[in-house]
């Protein structure tokens, strides 16, 4: 009997198959997660600002650490939300709320890290331009 359902249930057999699944996951993040899109827009704006101000290479390193900290924590938050929803469904559960709140707190902490990094890099340059 042939399977009607063509969804993959076995491990990936090839590296490019894994990459394809990863790209599909990123596409889902962009399409379905509003905060992920917001993070990408802020990242693009900060990149343009950094190019305009011609910041040094070590500043770029800190900015990219901040970018990927926020984006990575946003990905983990989305994973937690999806897994919790899968387990709990549409019912309220205090532990489910707790898990989601903690994951969201992780995003907030990484965003605070990014804001501090951005302030340390850009505020002195902005004041130097105003003089």
Report DSSP state, residue 33. -
Which residues have CB under 8 Å from 20's CB, separation 6+?
A: none
Report DSSP state, residue 12. P
Number of CB atoms found within 10 A of residue 63's CB: 21
- Element housing 47 (H / E): helix 34-53
Domains defined for the chain, CATH in brackets = 16-130 (1.10.287.3610)
Angstrom distance (rounded) from CA 16 to CA 14 = 5
pLDDT band, residue 72 (cuts 50/70/90)? very high
The pLDDT of residue 95 is 97
Mean pLDDT of the chain: 93
Q: Is the per-residue pLDDT at 4 higher than 70?
A: no
pLDDT in tens, 10-19: 777 789 989 9
Phi-psi region of 67 (alpha: psi -120 to 50; beta: other; left: phi over 0): alpha
């Amino acid at each position: 009997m042939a399977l009607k359902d063509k969804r993959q249930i076995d491990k990936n057999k090839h590296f490019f198959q894994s990459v394809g699944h990863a790209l599909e996951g990123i596409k889902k993040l962009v399409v379905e997660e509003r905060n992920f899109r917001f993070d990408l827009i802020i990242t693009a704006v900060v990149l343009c600002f950094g190019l305009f101000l011609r910041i040094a290479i070590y500043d770029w390193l800190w900015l990219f650490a901040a970018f990927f900290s926020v984006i990575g924590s946003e990905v983990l938050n989305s994973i937690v939300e999806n897994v919790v929803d899968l387990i709990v469904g549409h019912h309220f559960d205090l532990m489910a709320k707790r898990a989601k709140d903690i994951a969201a707190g992780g995003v907030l902490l990484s965003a605070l890290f990014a804001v501090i990094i951005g302030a340390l890099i850009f505020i002195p340059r902005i004041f130097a331009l105003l003089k």
